[in-house]
């Protein structure tokens, strides 16, 4: 799942191949528990409104859920759905024994309270890991559901380095869905962790100290190669669409790929790095939730 090219120093961490491997492991485990225990893991995805990007995500989540042999249920609700109706649906899914994972696609329309909605999901079925109980469990180093994007980053880092113990890690971005849980996971693996953000002073110097840089900012190509310590591992979470000089658009990350790849020891590309791992980890979390619900052995290497 790693490749090197002549033009650059860095090993490219191939998230697409890694994600296919994770989905393969999930599918094999699903087959086994279906055969041995007669249980099919089930994932329910709830989409409110018609945000085009969310519709694409929900479609590909449903497709991949079915591909690994799980049950996939989609609930598409009108944009003006009341909070009461949405909470009612979540209560129903919480009580449905055939559903092991519930994901409410964010962002929600403005009239709905995201925190209230997310915290109404049964924490054991909260496969996005955003419920306040899971945030607390992760923060105190206890067994929890771990947010999918940082979990995918952690898996790729462990695969590349083996142990992360004692490494200096800098996470750029402090969001609840990526930056903060990423920092907790790296701390859990005994890194020395710095969280940088929009008010960080001397960001280039902070980043230059890092053996591991995780960029989760949402600003296209913000991190240039001269911020990177030679040999460091760069995990690029950003997904930004920019105009191409010849017309049309393309996706880029939060790091300037070419200049960073010339200095780094390893780097994830955009697209094809962190992105594919996010859905693979959603499937892994659904399987983990199912195994925990039924007291079955959890799959190895698919959790934090």
Instruction: Based on the shown chain and the rule CB under 6 A, indicate whether residue 150 belongs to the binding site for ligand NAD.
Output: no
Binding mask 239-258 for ligand NAD (x = CB under 6 A): xx------------------
At its nearest, how many Å lie between ligand NAD and the CB of residue 195?
A: 9
Rounded to whole angstroms, the Cα distance separating 217 from 235 reads 12
Q: Going by C-beta distance under 8 Å and a sequence separation of 6 or more, which residues neighbour residue 86?
A: 46, 48, 77, 104, 112, 117
- Does 181 sit near ligand NAD (CB under 6 A)? no
Beta strands in 68-109 (DSSP E): 71-77, 101-104
Strands 42-48 and 101-104, bridge-based pairing: parallel
**Strand ranges of the sheet holding 192-196, from the earlier edge strand across to the other edge:** 2-4, 11-13, 266-267, 233-236, 212-215, 168-172, 192-196
Enumerate residues 6+ apart whose C-beta is below 8 A from 76.
47, 58
Q: Which range of residues in 101-109, 112-120, 257-265, 270-278 is near ligand NAD by CB under 6 A?
A: 270-278
Q: How many residues bind ligand NAD (CB under 6 A)?
A: 24
Task: Tell me how far, at minimum, the Cβ of 35 lies from ligand NAD, in Å.
Answer: 32
Distance of CA 39 to the CA centre of its chain: 26
Q: Is 42 helix (H, G, I), strand (E, B) or coil?
A: strand
61 in contact with ligand NAD (CB under 6 A): no
Q: Identify whether 61 is a catalytic site residue.
A: yes
Among 196, 264, 280, 283, binds ligand NAD (CB under 6 A): 196
Is 128 among the catalytic positions? yes
Is residue 267 part of the contact set for ligand NAD (CB under 6 A)?
A: no
- 75-114 binders of ligand NAD (CB under 6 A): none
Q: Does 178 bind ligand NAD (CB under 6 A)?
A: yes
Number of Cβ atoms within 10 Å of the Cβ of 291:
21
**Shortest Cβ 214–ligand NAD spacing (Å):** 10
**Three-class HEC string of 228-291:** CCCCCEEEECCCEEEECCCCCEEEECCECHHHHHCCCCEECCCCCCHHHHHHHHHHHHHHHHHH
Question: Out of 14, 25, 105, 122, which one is annotated catalytic?
Answer: 105
Considering beta carbons, is residue 149 or 286 the nearer one to ligand NAD?
149
Q: Is 197 in the site for ligand NAD (CB under 6 A)?
A: yes
Contact 196/203 with Cβ under 8 angstroms? yes
Which one of residues 87, 124, 203, 206 is an interface residue with ligand NAD (CB under 6 A)? 203
Binding site for ligand NAD (CB under 6 A): 149, 172-175, 177-179, 196-198, 200, 203, 216-219, 237-240, 274-275, 278
Q: Which residues are tagged catalytic?
A: 61, 105, 128
């Amino acid at each position: 799942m790693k490749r090197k090219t002549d033009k650059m120093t860095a090993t490219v961490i191939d998230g697409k191949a890694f994600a296919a491997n994770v989905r393969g492991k999930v599918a094999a485990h699903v087959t086994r528990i279906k055969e041995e225990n007669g249980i099919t893991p089930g994932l329910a995805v709830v989409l409110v409104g018609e945000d085009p990007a969310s519709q694409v995500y929900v479609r590909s989540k449903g497709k991949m859920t079915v591909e690994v042999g799980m049950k996939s249920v989609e609930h598409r609700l009108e944009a003006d759905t009341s909070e009461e109706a949405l909470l009612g649906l979540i209560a129903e899914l919480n009580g449905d024994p055939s559903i092991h994972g519930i994901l409410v696609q964010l962002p929600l329309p403005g009239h709905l309270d995201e925190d209230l909605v997310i915290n109404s999901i049964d924490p054991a079925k909260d496969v996005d890991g955003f419920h306040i109980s899971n945030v607390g469990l992760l923060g105190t180093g206890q067994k929890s559901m771990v947010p999918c994007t940082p979990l995918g980053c952690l898996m790729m880092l462990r695969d590349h380095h083996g142990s992360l113990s004692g490494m200096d890690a800098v996470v750029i971005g402090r969001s609840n869905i990526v930056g903060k849980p990423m920092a907790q996971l790296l701390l859990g693996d005994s890194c020395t962790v710095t969280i940088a953000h929009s008010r960080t002073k001397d960001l280039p110097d902070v980043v230059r100290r890092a053996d591991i840089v995780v960029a989760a900012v949402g600003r296209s190509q913000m991190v240039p190669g001269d911020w990177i310590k030679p040999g460091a591992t760069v995990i690029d979470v950003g997904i930004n669409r920019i105009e191409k000089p010849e017309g049309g658009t393309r996706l880029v990350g939060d790091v300037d790929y070419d200049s960073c790849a010339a200095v780094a020891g390893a780097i994830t590309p955009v697209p094809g790095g962190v992105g594919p791992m996010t859905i693979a980890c959603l499937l892994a979390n659904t399987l983990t939730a199912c195994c925990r619900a039924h007291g079955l052995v959890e799959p190895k290497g698919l959790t934090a």
